[in-house]
Structure 1
Amino acid sequence: MKLQEKKKISRFTALIIVMTVIFSVIAGKLFSLQIVQGAQYKEKAVNRSIRQIADPAPRGNILDKNGNILARSEQSYTLVYNQTDTNDKKFFTTMDKVFKILDANGESQQDDFELKINPFKFEFRSDDPETRKNLEIKFKRDRGLNEPIEKKIKTKNKDISDDELKKQVNDQLLKISPKKTYELLLKKYSINSSYPMEEQRKFMIIKDTIKMHSFSGYDPVVIASNIKKSTALKFSQILNDLPGVDMNIQPIRQYPNKELASGILGYISKISSTDTAKYKAKGYDTNSDYIGQAGIEAAFEDVLKGKKGGRTVKLNNNGKIIQELGTTTPKPGNNVKLTIDKNVQAAAEKALDDRMKELQSNPYGQQRSDTTNATRGAAVVIDVNTGDIIAMASRPGYDPNLFSVPGRLTSEQYNQYFSPNLEKFGRNYIEKRGITSLYPGKSETDVLNILFPLDKSIKGNTTIRQDVYDIYPKPFYNYATQSLIPPGSTFKPMTAIAGLESGAITPDFSIDDEGMFDKGGGNITHFYLDGANGWVNLARAIERSSNPYFMTVGKRIRDSFGDDTLAKYAWKFGLGADPNSKTTPTTGIEIPEKYGQVYNTVSNKNSFANTYLWKVMKNLKDGIDDKGNKLVSLDLYDNANDSDKVKQIKKDIKNLIQSSIKNGSKSFDGTKYKELFSELVQEDPNNKKEITNRQMSNLIDAINYTTVSDANSQLNVPANIEDASIGQGLNQFTPLQMANYIATIANGGTRYKLHLVDSILDSNGKVIKKIKPEVAEKTGVSAENIAAVKAGMEAVNEKGTASGTFADFPIKTAGKTGTASLGNQEEIGRTDYAEYVGYAPLDKPQIAVYAVVFDGGQGAGSAQIAKDIYTAYFKLNQNSTSTTSTTQSQN
């Protein structure tokens, strides 16, 4: 029997089956969308969303040693704008209403936008012209102003390298004026020119902030922060009429004492555009987070910053919160308790300000001084038994509150801090001192170009000047930790210790001080202001600050024990460090510092090598030698257009010059000089020329004279250590180093590491970490020798150069005055540094003090600053810390 054949499915039937399946899938999907997930997609249809909102953590407090608040965070009202497509359609109308309400209630828009108007200019927070130039380039690149320039350059030169393209684009970007930049951004952000310019810029700030940050989810732009409660209430009542606008509560940093301890505390501000990537990698929100920018705020950023919280919220289509679904509480930052005593710090700052004001009002009250520009100073107070820094004043200071909220810093303050008009300041400085008369044949402009030269690192610069002689007062420069100052006679106790410990002298060693010192070779130095002190032993020499005595001690140390003996003892007291050591020298302080050096043969060679290298380079460029003879001109200065080969040739020549200075005739290689100069004129277009054999010979002879006959011959003369013995010459230290050196003498010879931080506390005040005193070095100086030096320092305050200040002081103290000079101070209009070091009480020292006024004249005047500090520390007269002028003897 045959099998029955299978029925074939017709095409029509197959089509019906396929269509049935498709419609079934569609029906199922529609059922799922409309019935199963209908509610969810209904919310999405009206653009509602669930988002995470970060809640910033309050920054930890900074406290003084007694628990007084120096920096804190307080909750404040912040007005924000949340960008959505819906909100952006009404952006200009909404913001116009917002700005009017802010203005009517005396509130300011948050404004850290670097492009200013009236007049058009950029304000970048840096006092370095090169940094400001780079920030301007980045500002314009970040906003896409480079794109049309790149396109145009590539059209003309398709084979241009990336490096050359970048260079050409940057050059073109710098040619775009602030005004033109503003006009380009108006167009980019579609801001109607019919609005007044002030309002245009307000719109631009919001639009630019949106542009400059990648917003995802609920990431609002701050419109205004730290607004009053009454203003916040007004906004809260009309938020429904302001699409995208909302009110938040955020912590704002406050410094209740304003300028007090600003050099210690530092400040916080928004993350700069150059640091965006760095802090993004650390989890910061670069749109809204603030970071420490100096001082303790920067050094302890990780301790103070806290941990953010957050909220899970539901938003409507205008970006407003309609429901809060969950929260995570922010964790406040830890507190940092300092060793600083607020009252002593205030006394130190006031004493400096009062003394400087007095010196400015009576600029010719001291012989050989013009204290018109006594505008900078520092004072450091140390617990001699722990290394705690009780006060550290740097003047002038600044108010850190100016940076807590963008927009507080006015253009005038910006210019004062970051971009001072050094031409105007310099001309006034020159005229008041009659400095032009010291430069025969030169105009005021010529002298201005010497004292405040144009910054040559900026191509074509005709306006930006440099303060190369530290004349202009700088609020952000910490004079206590960064300034390297010749110590003058305040160094003499150190010379005494080196002389006693080495055996070069005894306390009874005496000389007849005739008011002069013979350096040999007919070089006799006269100390006319000091006069002759007659026969002096060690104690009397410290009391009267006898220069001939201590120069004699220095000479005896050198003759018997070598040039580096003084340095070896000074290093024990933190006055410099062995240059051959591989460790980085430090006082121990937690914030950045410089570290000065005492005279020693290695540093002396390096110093001469640097100084005379620049002298040789200048002579070669000017085409003249030290004797006034003409030379063939060669430029060894770095040039931006130098090829790698030219850079290397110049480097080799400079190294050869420095080697000649350091090692003298034994390393002078005339053949090598000839070879390198020949290569330079062949390879460098800027030095392209023919040099005859005679010209080459004259060139090499001139370099030999300057490097060998002049510089190298001075390296080992006795005058180096003789000058160092009275605190001049190579000796330069920070106020911090000087205070620690005196503290080491005061406590009997133990040098402690200095520290500003006493402890780290959690937000409830519980101690997390306590900083214990740490010994940096036990000097090993005998008690007898320490006592001999202390006896002289006691005499200074009892009957010596500071007796006019301390004669009637109720607590016995010891100290030393110092008047330190700069080598060229007369020709640049500068005056001596007025310095004082001391400790108190005499029998059981508790604190050591160093005080200095730049251009302050004679050192005895700074003893009053120490007296006011003692008055505050020992609570002798809490209602008065007068710095009444006293007539004191010349140091």
Structure 2
Amino acid sequence: MGDQEKENWKLKLSRRLNGYLVILIFIFILLTSRLFFLQIVNAQEFSKQSAENRIRINPIEARRGDILDRNGQVLATSQPVYVVTIRSMPNQDLDGVINNLSALLEDPELTPAAIKELIKNNPIRYRSTEIKRLPASDPVAIATVTRLEEHRQDLPGVNIIEEPQRYYPYGPLAGHLLGYVGQITQQELEDRKEENYGLNDKIGKSGIEAFLEYSNEGGREIGLRGKKGAEQVEVDAYNRKVRDLVTLPPTPGDTVQLTIDLKLQQTLEKAMDQVIAATKKKNPKAGGGAAVVLDVKTGAILAMASKPDMDPNDFVNGNYTRKQGYYNNPRLKPLFNRAIQGIYPPGSTFKPITAMAALDAGVVKPQDTIYDSGRYWKPGGITCWAVHGNVNLYRGMAVSCNTYFQWAGELAGIDKIDEVARQFGLGEPTGVIGLRGEAAGILPSPEWKKEINAPYWDRWLKNQEDRIEKKYAGLLAAAAPEEKSKLLEQKERELKQVKAEYQINYNFNTTWQPFNTYNTSIGQGDNNYTIIQLANYIATLANGGTRWRPYLVDKVIGADGSLKKQYHPEVAGRVTISQEAMAQVRQAMLEVTRASDGTASFLFRDFPPELQVAAKTGTAQTGLAGDDRNSDFYGLFVAFAPFDDPQIAIAVIIEYAQHGGDSAGVVARAVLAQYFGLTDILNKPFNGVSVE
């Protein structure tokens, strides 16, 4: 290589090196600029993002307040659970995480597809989705949590938090009056937008849980709902907590003490379960019933039951999904509180009302006697269930003579019967404190009959007239001119005939008839009342005429032990009928259990002689479409005790029982034995019922 070539080669090499140097300088300047931008210009923003990636603010659920019986026994509380959640994050292999989570949970129902569906249905995408709840007291659940923690590196975005979950230690016992909690709905969020509820919150849906969910009374918050807390924690790359930073503890909800007695409630429900099971063997339609037990001197509810059962635990532990067939049964309707929402014909339990009306009006005296030949002798009179011969008030009540009470009811008149029934609270909500959704029932009257039936017959007439107009419009359009006058005459005749038929039916069906009074007098016909109304009317009769407003809540106690609210007995009304009339009817009801042929004489023979029970049995036709009026009946029973100083009143219904005495009456017997501490009676079976 010559000198010239060497010089050319050196020149080319120099140029290349200079080019490389320029490129290196450019890259260095670019990197330096980028570093300056990251470290200086955006330092605060990236620092914030870094902190947000490792700092978490987690809400801490507040413990819901306990619900206690009158003696402090816990009926509803909260227990800790582990909640497994998943949060979708950028650049996360969600499918892989879901597959790992499903495998580690070892729950056949939580397949990857099922978990994806839960995430899909989450209303707020950026929030964590709840996957599973694991009771902290369950060894299997604890093992599952341990397994998840050991595989944290395979579960980015999965978090396990501990929070309180509602728990009802006695299962379905008193389920309808306690109620249940569930996920808040969009509508509930709207209704409570001023109360700081969130989309994932649980809220009381029925019973006491709903009644005392939350309220602000004069600036003071009252309710089972607590106030959430929050914790600020530092986490590592696997979302594991490294350390706590700041914690704001939650405030537990208030404790609610009820008026019910746990032992009395247990006795009531156990007796009802056994009687309903026995009734179902005789009539497959059976399965339902209701009962209410009241303190006659205050209106406090001592026990209340509705059958079939509703277990509030099912709505928080996931069992509801598996039991939807049961809860959605259209005939049994387990979620329906029959004690306050069901309306039933009272049957003969209404007869004390008729008796008081006749006595107070002065048209009947207790010793007035009539002869029962098995049917009331007037046109439209109703048969009696037996031939009783000579009967007066006391024997008429004891043997439940239909003839006697039709006679007394006709003499008193429907207006007087209605007046007395209204004074005792029948046909209108009792206003029970602690429960919502109470039905009004039906107290039939001449005004009610017209109000109910007149619109029906008005619609019937219009439909018939429209039918005739349509019929002749077609005929007239197709008729020859000479035929039209004849068709118009026919049309007028048909319209007159329809109007005449309407007038007859309208007058009959909107005007009170004697048979309406006969039916009402013995608790049949259109009479329909709730079981709590029947219990309250008997309590009012027992205490001499003071109608108390039934109440279920005694007091609300704050988390600090302070008394936040005390509920007191409230007078809803006082009857104006004479004390003498009420006294005579109470005496007649005593004969139901004391007379040898009384319809409930067999129930209390082994009770102590000083503990006398006044009662009335009832057997009522259901009045439901499809039921046999000769074989499908409801069994009812009302009572109060002791006779000489009443303390407790009870009303019970057993659906599709043939007789009130040997069905509902057996339940009342067990409840009264429990209330008065008659251990020997409780410990021995009676009519197939044993509540020891």
Q: Sort the TM-score into its range (normalised by shorter chain).
A: 0.7 to 0.9
Give the deviation of 1:792 after TM superposition: 0.7
> Which residue pairs with 2:420 in the alignment?
569
**386, 394, 397: which one pairs with 1:542?**
397
Give the deviation of 1:305 after TM superposition: 1.2
Contact 2:256 2:557 in 1 (8 A): yes
**579, 586, 604: which one pairs with 1:806?**
604
The reply to whether residue 101 of structure 1 matches residue 9 of structure 2 is no
Shift in CA distance, 57/550, structure 1 to aligned 2, threshold 3 Å? same
Shift in CA distance, 310/878, structure 1 to aligned 2, threshold 3 Å? farther
SS of the residue 1:857 aligns to = coil
SS of the residue 2:273 aligns to = helix
Shift in CA distance, 886/350, structure 1 to aligned 2, threshold 3 Å? closer
Distance in 1 separating the partners of 2:466 and 2:280:
56
Distance in 1 separating the partners of 2:195 and 2:524:
47
SS of the residue 1:526 aligns to = coil
Contact 2:269 2:305 in 1 (8 A): yes
Which amino acid is the alignment partner of residue 132 of structure 2? A
> Residue by residue, what CA displacement relative to the aligned partner does 1:749-800 show, whole Å, maximum 9, x if unpaired?
1100011111111124432111100111111333222211111111101121
> Which residue pairs with 2:585 in the alignment?
789
The reply to whether residue 851 of structure 1 matches residue 652 of structure 2 is yes
> Which residue pairs with 2:7 in the alignment?
none
> Which residue pairs with 1:71 in the alignment?
76
> Residue by residue, what CA displacement relative to the aligned partner does 1:102-122 show, whole Å, maximum 9, x if unpaired?
11xx6965xxxxxxxxxxxxx
* Aligned positions of 1:20-419 closer than 5 A: 34-35=39-40, 38=43, 41-42=46-47, 44=49, 48=53, 50-86=55-91, 89-103=92-106, 109=110, 198-209=111-122, 212-215=123-126, 219-227=127-135, 228-272=141-185, 275=188, 277-278=190-191, 282-286=195-199, 288-302=200-214, 303-314=223-234, 321-361=241-281, 363=282, 371-405=283-317, 407-411=318-322, 413-418=323-328
Distance in 1 separating the partners of 2:255 and 2:478:
66
Give the deviation of 1:870 after TM superposition: 0.7
Gaps of 5+ in 1: 1-26, 110-197, 364-370, 421-466, 578-583, 617-652, 661-669, 683-687
Which amino acid is the alignment partner of residue 633 of structure 2? D
SS of the residue 2:390 aligns to = strand
Give the deviation of 1:585 after TM superposition: 6.6
Give the deviation of 1:829 after TM superposition: 8.9
Scaled by the length of structure 1, the TM-score of the pair is 0.66
> Which residue pairs with 1:481 in the alignment?
340
> Residue by residue, what CA displacement relative to the aligned partner does 1:66-125 show, whole Å, maximum 9, x if unpaired?
111111111211111122113xx321212212212211xx6965xxxxxxxxxxxxxxxx
Contact 2:98 2:112 in 1 (8 A): no
Contact 1:490 1:727 in 2 (8 A): yes
**599, 607, 614: which one pairs with 2:452?**
607
Give the deviation of 1:280 after TM superposition: 5.7
Distance in 2 separating the partners of 1:80 and 1:886:
51
SS of the residue 1:748 aligns to = coil
> Residue by residue, what CA displacement relative to the aligned partner does 1:630-686 show, whole Å, maximum 9, x if unpaired?
xxxxxxxxxxxxxxxxxxxxxxx63xx5xx8xxxxxxxxx9x98589759999xxxx
Which amino acid is the alignment partner of residue 419 of structure 2? K
Which amino acid is the alignment partner of residue 225 of structure 1? R
Distance in 2 separating the partners of 1:694 and 1:761:
80
Which amino acid is the alignment partner of residue 226 of structure 1? L
Contact 1:57 1:307 in 2 (8 A): yes
Give the deviation of 1:816 after TM superposition: 0.5
Distance in 2 separating the partners of 1:220 and 1:38:
29
Distance in 2 separating the partners of 1:49 and 1:698:
91
Give the deviation of 1:255 after TM superposition: 0.7
> Which residue pairs with 1:708 in the alignment?
503
> Which residue pairs with 2:439 in the alignment?
594
> Residue by residue, what CA displacement relative to the aligned partner does 1:838-861 show, whole Å, maximum 9, x if unpaired?
011111111101111111011211
> Which residue pairs with 2:8 in the alignment?
none
Contact 1:512 1:535 in 2 (8 A): yes
Distance in 2 separating the partners of 1:305 and 1:48:
32
Distance in 2 separating the partners of 1:97 and 1:681:
77
Which amino acid is the alignment partner of residue 98 of structure 1? L
> Residue by residue, what CA displacement relative to the aligned partner does 1:124-167 show, whole Å, maximum 9, x if unpaired?
xxxxxxxxxxxxxxxxxxxxxxxxxxxxxxxxxxxxxxxxxxxx
Distance in 2 separating the partners of 1:242 and 1:689:
82
> Which residue pairs with 1:815 in the alignment?
615
Which amino acid is the alignment partner of residue 809 of structure 1? F
* Aligned positions of 1:725-744 closer than 5 A: 725-744=521-540
Distance in 1 separating the partners of 2:78 and 2:658:
42
Give the deviation of 1:225 after TM superposition: 1.0
Contact 1:351 1:881 in 2 (8 A): no
Shift in CA distance, 298/46, structure 1 to aligned 2, threshold 3 Å? closer
Distance in 1 separating the partners of 2:188 and 2:116:
25
Which amino acid is the alignment partner of residue 617 of structure 2? T
Give the deviation of 1:806 after TM superposition: 1.3
Aligned length: 630
Distance in 2 separating the partners of 1:289 and 1:77:
16
Contact 1:865 1:883 in 2 (8 A): no
Give the deviation of 1:34 after TM superposition: 2.2
Distance in 2 separating the partners of 1:699 and 1:864:
59
Shift in CA distance, 700/865, structure 1 to aligned 2, threshold 3 Å? farther
Which amino acid is the alignment partner of residue 796 of structure 1? V
Scaled by the length of structure 2, the TM-score of the pair is 0.84
SS of the residue 1:301 aligns to = coil
Contact 2:179 2:206 in 1 (8 A): yes
> Residue by residue, what CA displacement relative to the aligned partner does 1:232-264 show, whole Å, maximum 9, x if unpaired?
223223323311112101111101100101111
> Residue by residue, what CA displacement relative to the aligned partner does 1:674-700 show, whole Å, maximum 9, x if unpaired?
589759999xxxxx9999647755764
Which amino acid is the alignment partner of residue 505 of structure 2? D
Give the deviation of 1:712 after TM superposition: 2.3
Gaps of 5+ in 2: 1-31, 136-140, 215-222
User: Which stretch shifts more, 233-242 or 564-573?
Assistant: 233-242
Give the deviation of 1:52 after TM superposition: 3.1
Shift in CA distance, 54/47, structure 1 to aligned 2, threshold 3 Å? closer
Give the deviation of 1:473 after TM superposition: 1.5
Report the structure number with the largest CA radius of gyration: 2
SS of the residue 2:371 aligns to = strand
Which amino acid is the alignment partner of residue 75 of structure 1? P
Shift in CA distance, 699/284, structure 1 to aligned 2, threshold 3 Å? farther
Distance in 2 separating the partners of 1:385 and 1:727:
26
SS of the residue 1:213 aligns to = coil
**650, 661, 676: which one pairs with 1:874?**
676
> Which residue pairs with 2:369 in the alignment?
510
> Residue by residue, what CA displacement relative to the aligned partner does 1:558-617 show, whole Å, maximum 9, x if unpaired?
2xxxx322111110100125xxxxxx774555322101122211212123336xx2xx6x
> Which residue pairs with 1:776 in the alignment?
572
SS of the residue 2:121 aligns to = helix
Distance in 2 separating the partners of 1:300 and 1:538:
46
Contact 1:259 1:400 in 2 (8 A): yes
Root-mean-square deviation (Å): 3.3
Contact 1:555 1:722 in 2 (8 A): yes
Contact 2:358 2:408 in 1 (8 A): yes
Shift in CA distance, 556/53, structure 1 to aligned 2, threshold 3 Å? same
Give the deviation of 1:373 after TM superposition: 2.2
> Which residue pairs with 1:130 in the alignment?
none
User: Which stretch shifts more, 27-36 or 740-749?
Assistant: 27-36
Distance in 1 separating the partners of 2:478 and 2:157:
69
Give the deviation of 1:802 after TM superposition: 0.1
> Residue by residue, what CA displacement relative to the aligned partner does 1:190-226 show, whole Å, maximum 9, x if unpaired?
xxxxxxxx532332223332xx2253xxx32212113
> Residue by residue, what CA displacement relative to the aligned partner does 1:461-486 show, whole Å, maximum 9, x if unpaired?
xxxxxx6xxxx222111111111111
